[in-house]
Amino acid sequence: MTRTPTLPINDRSMWRRLVALAHPDAGGDHELFIWTGTLRDVVCNSKTATSRQFAEDTEPTVHPSRQRQASTFSTADRVSFDQFADFEVLTDRAVTMAAAVAEPFGYLLRHVVDCYPVSSEAGPLYDQQLCGASYKSLAAVGHSVAMTKAERVQWYRIAEAIPLSQRHAGHIFSRLKRRAA
């Protein structure tokens, strides 16, 4: 019997690719996108993924230590992000990438030039530095500059490549709103 080599079931890059394929802007289905993200959370966040966890009548275990984070920032609909990443380095990466990408993407990325890190006393802004940008907020940015669906998908890929935090996306969107006013 031959065996096809594959990556482990909890490989982040494979899950990122699968969730991206299921995203509605990439031609996927909204319900499939949500289901895929939930499945990823169950598979990757459990210490022992056994078959009983996937039974129809079994609910995934809720860990009290993760409850606030899971309810505040769901990872299924966000850019994959390392919460320990240096915010200033990511900001510099976005500004540098602005020169290398086509418009309107460069225009949007240049807006983060004055997005500085904040301390934990800043509350919600600090929390936004620690999670990836939501696809919903990236779509709002895209719609505000009249991107087509194909351009929004490209915008998501750029945001994933950096990766942009929720704070970056919010900063871009607020700058666009101020300019429009």
Which amino acid, 81?
F
CA distances from 115 to 143, 157, 164, 168 (A): 21, 21, 12, 7
The pTM score is 0.59
Which amino acid, 179?
R
Residue that the structure tokens 């994959």 belong to: 80
Which pLDDT belongs to residue 1? 67
pLDDT 10s digits, 122-172: 888 899 999 999 999 999 999 999 999 999 999 999 999 999 999 999 999
Which amino acid, 105?
F
Can you tell me the distance from the alpha carbon of 161 to that of 156, in angstroms, rounded to the nearest whole number?
A: 9
Given a cut of 60, is residue 70 above it in pLDDT?
Answer: no
Contacts for 146 with CB less than 8 Å, ≥ 6 apart: none
DSSP state, residue 144 = H
Q: How many CA atoms lie within 13 A of 97 on its CB side?
A: 21
